[in-house]
Each structure stands twice: as structure tokens, then as C-alpha cells.
Amino acid sequence: MRIHFHLSYNVVFSYGFMMENPILEPAPGQEDVFNSLFSGKPYIVAQADDLFFHEAGVWMPRTKEWLVTSNRIGNACRIVALKMDGSYRFLSNLEEKVILANGGTSDGNGGAILLSQGIENQSGAMYHISADLTSCNLLAPTNPGPTLASSTYPPIQFFNSMNDIQLHNASGTYIFTDPAYGYLFQGFRTNHNNIPGLWHYTPSTNNFKLIDQDFRAPNGALLSPDQQTLYISDVWNSDWQSNPGEKSIKREVVQYDVIHNNNELSFTNRRVFVDFSSESMDLGYPDGLKCDERGNVYMGTGDGCRIYTSKGVHEKNVFLV
């Protein structure tokens, strides 16, 4: 069963565990802070018997639905419009174009951006979704190969399996992660580049620029409410590969300061925000990331959702039971 559950400040999560009720609890020693932020109980918005609610979760104000993508079902992903009453519909018109849809974000004007992970030797890509969810168009890259290499720094001819994306509103720049999950262990890609990259893309110049590649597999992406802090999760286990070789595990979230100057972005002061390496593997990995209006960070994990302050203090949990 896949579920969406809803908390204060219009934070909506999707997670894929069997459950009956979400339970919201403070972390040890954080009861006072917890009680000042939350009241009531989280509740299930929707549930299904298949893997329909997995990524994206972009609110579409015109249709009053969340735009959601499924987990991989064979070599396809479903694209779903989910209403607050729990009803949902499949957007087959979008599925025909956005191959293996994954993460998404608002375009700042009522529409959305969805990421394609690509398939076989087809590059990952970004698609613009109309505000009424009736159409989509390829945003970038429009010409993988040598033409793409001329607009990327460093030059590459295709992207891996684009995973998650955020819009920096003031600059109009998109920030996205590009791990090679599809090639390294999921088996739906036949090629990959050697950059486990965090990138940004500026539509006005059609240029891509690498922010950082010091990751095993960059996954979730999040900008703080003031858009001055960027959070990226790094999620990897070499055991996922058929020939894992040297043991390697990554279970952490890093953050950067975001500097916006003369319509250009720079990312500085990388530091570890949360590191799960010393915790039980039952906790899983810090996957998708969201925040509320106060800057608290919500992190999908193996036991549900962990909630941290912007300083990295673990405040509370939403357990899935």
C-alpha cells in the first residue's frame, strides 16, 4: 500500500510502507518544541494497493490536485493527479512523453516540471507540465549528444537518471540531482556518465552547470523557505549492485549556502546536515526532503518520516505502523 499523509503547514508526504495509522511523536528531549509546533494528528489522504504515490508531490493550484509519480512498475511509471479527498486519476497523456517520471517541482507560475529518468540510452530530461495538467513539453536537454556538450559545464552528452528538482524563484534557475541508479543497479539504462551530479539549469541561457559531484548518488533536493539553504540527500548501498565490489554505503544529507548575486547562483559552505551512518540500518536512508514555512526539514526514512530543525536537531518522527 502506498500512502500520502498530511501534517501541519500543508506538508504532504508519500511513502511506500504497509500501515494502518501514522503516529506523530516528539524525538527524545524535544517534547516542548514539538508541542509548540504541532497540534492534532496526521491523517492519511490516499491509499492504493499498488505503487502509485512515490515522488514529486507538486501542488497544482488550478486543478487543486497534487501531481505525483509512481514507483517504477516494470519499465514505466504512472503519473497521478491526487485530490485532497483521496480520489485520483492517471494522466496517460503525460505518461506517453515523460519516460519513467520521477521528481518534480513548481514552475513558479502554476505549472510544474517533471523529471524523466530516461530509458536504455535515452538521456534523463526535464519536462514542463501545463497548469491544467493537459499537456507537457520537453524543456531540456532538447539535443543530447555534441550539442548538449556545448551547453554543459563540464561537457557531457547525456544525463543519467534525473531524480529530484527545485526551482530557485528569484533567478529562475532549476537545481536537480542526477544519480545513475538506472544504470548501476535498476537496469533500465544502458549508458551513464561518470558524474554523480548536482546540477543547475538556467532556461534563459539554456546552460547547465555542475554544482558538486562529491556524492555516491545524490537523491532528494530541497530549498529552504527563504531559498538561502540547499539540502541534498546522498543515498547509496553497493549491495544494490549485482557485482558490488568494495562495500560502500551513503546515508546522509548535506547542505549549502545559496548566494544569489547579479542573477547568478553560487553554492558555498558545504557541510553535513544529518548523517545516519552510526544508526541502525532499520532506519533506512534519508530519501525525499520537504520543509514547512518555519524551515523544519521533513525526511522520508525507513520507519516513516523524521523531522529536523534547520539546525539539524532531530525534533520528531512520523512513524508508519
Grid-cell match 544569489, residue found: 260
Please state the φ and ψ torsions of residue 93, each to the nearest 5 degrees. -65, -30
Per-residue pLDDT of the chain (321 residues; tens, 9 = 90+): 333 433 333 344 444 333 345 555 555 655 665 566 555 566 677 777 778 888 898 999 999 999 999 888 888 899 999 998 889 999 999 999 999 999 999 999 999 999 999 999 999 999 999 999 999 999 999 999 999 999 999 999 999 999 999 999 999 999 999 999 999 989 999 999 999 999 999 999 999 999 999 999 999 999 999 999 999 999 988 888 766 667 888 999 999 999 999 889 999 999 999 999 988 888 888 888 998 888 989 888 887 788 898 988 887 676 554
pLDDT for position 321: 45
Distance CA 56, CA 105 (A): 7
Q: Rounded to 5 degrees, what angle do the CA atoms 240, 245, 246 make? A: 100
Q: Rounded to 5 degrees, what angle do the CA atoms 290, 108, 269 make? A: 50
User: Domains in the chain, ordered, with CATH?
Assistant: 2-320 (2.120.10.30)
Q: Where are the alpha helices (DSSP H) in 153-279?
A: 181-184
Rounded to two decimals, the pTM is 0.88
In the DSSP assignment, the letter for residue 148 is: H
Q: What is the spatial order of strands in the sheet that 55-60 belongs to?
A: 55-60, 65-69, 79-82, 88-90
- Asked if 265 contacts 246 with a C-beta cutoff of 8 angstroms, the reply is no
